Structure 1
């Protein structure tokens, strides 16, 4: 059920994120950076804020399509829930994030639907194996993503969404 837009405005930004897996169980991550300092970079999951009266599921699919061009998706359950707060592009962002599991066979990406801010701060996308993610030295958000993905692949989705520790940067 869509949340009331007035209620959304009162608290943290409501965000849907996607843990998108291909048939080989690779995860798609986007590469981004601070617009004022391109050396300050990281990898992150596709997703973004809810618009209007859309549901979390609708936002997840819309954001995925806009940021990656991937539309042939089977959206699964909510895996994780996280609160985060971080500086970006000259302001502080506070977000209530829900992470959805999704599967696709469509692995070619196209970033034609990026917002102006995303065009200034997203450089591309990459499919990662669990092993590559575990060995990565780059910054990845959420910070425990490698461990969370390994558990997901080993044990399957949790029976109920797991609440992750807040991340405040």
Structure 2
């Protein structure tokens, strides 16, 4: 796999980095567990991390429509726009993937699936199957004890707060460097 595997929604910006807008969903079940995906980078297969369901927003697609599509494709979860709350969170993330630094502007929604859901990978593309490893419902205690990385890093705190009820405030995490490059000039390569 190469950086071309990122897909057509990743465009090169004025800073030279590939970037895209993405919609993500924090899915909670009746026990306040969060549904997460574990994946890895093709050029660093030993490094893996947990992240929320979601992905790129297609041209002409709304954030809500993208979130609903990603739920269907990544987890086999059929919801409607009335099932989504928010956006509850935003962030700009820089991370290393497919041997290059990427930037992603993320908007997060909240969804509740109180009667549970058995996630399925039936909708994963061939590219996703190459980098996605599993889906699992996790408690925030399990997330805090996890030895693999979790993105965003504040996710356990966010889930705890949302489990108590959303107060209507969109939390802005600002710019985050998921793999903390040691030199800011690395971002321009």
TM-score past 0.5 threshold:
yes
Residues 71-122 of structure 1: CA distance to partner in whole angstroms, max 9, x if unpaired? 1462111111000111101232211100100112341111122223211000
Deviation of 1:10 (Å): 5.9
Report the counterpart of residue 30 of structure 2 in structure 1. Answer: 23
* Counterpart-to-counterpart distance in 2, 1:9 and 1:64: 26
Residue in structure 2 matching 1:46, options 40, 53, 65:
53
Mark the runs of 5 or more structure 2 residues left unpaired by the alignment. 1-10, 180-189
Report the CA distance between 1:57 and its aligned residue: 0.3
Tell me if the contact between 1:78 and 1:100 (Cα under 8 Å) persists in the aligned partners: yes
- Provide the C-alpha distance between the structure 1 equivalents of 2:51 and 2:145, rounded to a whole number of angstroms: 16
Contact 2:58 2:66 in 1 (8 A): yes
Q: Could you state the TM-score of these two structures normalised by the residue count of structure 1?
A: 0.87
Residue 119 of structure 2 aligns to a residue whose secondary structure is: coil
**Residues 26 and 34, structure 2, Cα contact 8 Å, conserved in 1:** yes
Q: Is the 8 A contact 2:40 2:46 kept in 1?
A: yes
Runs of 5+ unmatched residues, structure 1:
1-7
Alignment of 1:84 with 2:93, yes or no, is yes
1:148 aligns with 2:158: yes
State the secondary structure of the residue aligned to 2:123: coil
For residues 40-96 of structure 1, the C-alpha deviation after alignment (integer angstroms, 9 at most, x for no partner) is 100000100111211000000101110111114621111110001111012322111
1:65 to 61, 66, 72: 72
Closer/same/farther in 2, CA of residues 9 and 63 from structure 1, 3 Å limit: farther
Q: In 1, Cα distance between the equivalents of 2:143 and 2:12?
A: 35
Larger radius of gyration: 2
Q: Would you say the 8 A contact 1:83–1:96 is kept in 2?
A: yes
Summarize the Cα distance change of 1:144–1:88 in structure 2 as closer, same or farther, 3 Å threshold.
same
Alpha-carbon shift at residue 9 of structure 1 (Å): 7.8
Q: CA RMSD in A?
A: 1.9
**Number of residue pairs aligned between Structure 1 and Structure 2:** 161
CA contact (8 A) 1:16 1:97 kept: yes
Residue 187 of structure 2 is matched in structure 1 by: none
Structure 1 residues 35 and 9: alpha-carbon distance in aligned structure 2, compared to 1, 3 A threshold:
closer
Residues 106, 52 of structure 1: alpha-carbon distance in 2 compared, 3 angstrom cutoff = farther
